Amino acid sequence: MTVSSNLIINNSNPFEGEVSIPGDKSITHRAIMISSLCNGKINISNALASDDCEHTINVFRELGVNIEIKEHMISVTGKGLTSLKKPNKKLYAGNSGTLMRIIAGILATQDFTSSISGDKSLNTRPMKRIEDPLKMFGANIISKNSMPPLSFKPSKSLKPISYASNLPSAQVKSCLIFAALFIDGASVITEKIKTRDHTERLLEYLEYPISIEDNAINIFGKKSFKCKDIVIPSDISSAAFFIVAALIRKDSKLVLKNIGINKLRIGLIEILIEMGANISVFNKSVICNESVADIEVQYSELKPINISGEKISRLIDELPILFIACAVCNGISEFHDIGELRFKESDRIKSMEEGLNVLGIKTSSTTNSLKIFGGSFNGGIVNSNNDHRVAMSFIVAGAISKKPITVLNTQNISTSFPNFKNTINGIGAEVYEV
C-alpha cells in the first residue's frame, strides 16, 4: 500500500473494538536473515509486509537465497552458512537501519566483495558503532565518515572476539552475533544494559549452539541450525499507538490480539501502568520462544512521569508516542538519557519537540533530555520529517485535538505499518489524505 504524503485527523469518537496489529518488524527482519542461513526450508507466518522487510527479502535474494511470498507467509529456502553468493549489484537497505547494521555482520565475514547503501535518511546515520567491533573480528570495511554506503572486502584474518558494548543497541549486538556465526571458535558479546533479545531467542529456537549467562552471550561459530517454521508475534511497537490512543480518548476501550510481550520490549506498558493506565495483559503463551498475549486498554487519567537510564532502552522505539501521552498529563514529565533518539529515522527529540510546540505544548530539551509540560492539543500542521513513528504519534494526537492536525511527509509509515490509516479509522478515527 502506498501511504499518502500528508494526512489529516479530526477529533475522533471513542475508540472501541478489537485491533489486529501486524507482525513484529524486528523479529521479521531477523527471521528472514537466520532462515537464509539454514540448510532447508522455513515458513515464516504473520511476517510483517512492509517496505523495510521487503528490502531485507530483496537483499537476501541478491545474495542467492530462494525466498517466496504468499500473503503474510514467507518461505525461505537456505543452503547453509557457506551458501551466500556475491551480489551482482550494490545492495539497498532503503530506510532500514536494522537491515543496514545487522547485515553488516554477515557481509563483513564473506569471501566476496559487496556494498550496501540506504535512502537519503539512512545514509546519514552513524555506523562507527558497528564498524569498530567488526574490525576487531578482522573485518575489512570501507566507508566515508563511518556512514553508508558501506563496502566489504574479504578478510584472511577473521577471528573470534570478546567484546563489551557500552552502547545499549540490539542492532549492534545482533550485527556481532551474526558475524560470529561465520567465524571458527567462540565469541563473547557482553552488554552493559540488556537490549531486545530476538536474535538470541531465534537462535535458541532453531537449536543453534548459543549460551547466555547474565549479560554475556557466547556464540560458537560455523555450527548448524534446525529448520523449524517460525510464527511472528504482533508488534508491540505498532500496538503502542493504539494503546496510547485508547488511554487518552475518553470512553475508549480496545483489545489488541497476539501481541509480543518480550520482557525487554514491554517498558512502555510498565511505564504507562505506573502513570495510572488501565491495562490488562491476558491469554499469555509462548510461541517460537517469544512471549505473546492479548492486551485490553481503557481510557485512563494519566499522571506525569520522570524516567531515565535502563528504562529508556526498553522503550526507545515507543518514546514518540509516550511523549504524546505525557503531553496531555496534568503536570511535567521528564525524559533523560534519550540522546539515541537523535540518530533514528529523524532526530526524534527535535521532530517531536517542534511538533508538540506547534500544537500548543510547552517543552524544553538538551542534547540528551526532554521535558514536557502537560496541556492540550490545539491543532495545526506538523512535519513528521519522513519518520514513521513521529507521523503515527501525531496522528494519534489528532484524535483528541481541539482542531484538526495535519501531518506532513507521512509516506514512511509504510516502513512498519502500511495499513495504519485504515486500521485506526476502523476503530473510530477520522484520518484522511490531503
Residue 3: the pLDDT is 43
Q: Closest by alpha carbon to 348, among 412, 269, 417? A: 412
Using DSSP, how many helices (H) and how many strands (E) does the chain show? 13, 24
Helix 319-327 vs helix 388-398: angle between axes, to the nearest 10 degrees?
20
**What does the chain come to in residues?**
434
The strand pair at 253-260 and 278-287 is best described as unpaired
Domain 7-23+233-433 has CATH 3.30.930.10: no
Rounded to whole angstroms, the Cα distance separating 64 from 182 reads: 17
Look at residue 111 and give its three-state secondary structure.
Answer: coil
347 is an active site residue = no
Which of the residues 51, 235, 294, 317 is marked catalytic?
A: 317
**What pLDDT does residue 341 have?**
96
| Cα–Cα distance measured from residue 36 to residue 268, given in angstroms and rounded to the nearest whole number | 32
Q: Consecutive 10-residue runs of the chain (434 residues): their mean pLDDT? A: 74 96 98 98 97 97 97 92 97 97 98 97 95 98 97 96 94 98 98 96 98 96 97 98 98 98 97 98 98 99 96 94 99 97 95 98 98 98 97 98 97 94 96 94
The pLDDT score that the predictor gives to residue 71 is 75
Quick one: pLDDT at residue 72?
74
Please determine whether the domains at 7-23+233-433 and 25-231 fall in the same fold group of CATH.
Answer: yes
What's the confidence (pLDDT) of residue 2? 44
- Structural domain boundaries in the chain: 7-23+233-433, 25-231
Arch. (CATH architecture) of 25-231: Alpha-beta prism (3.65)
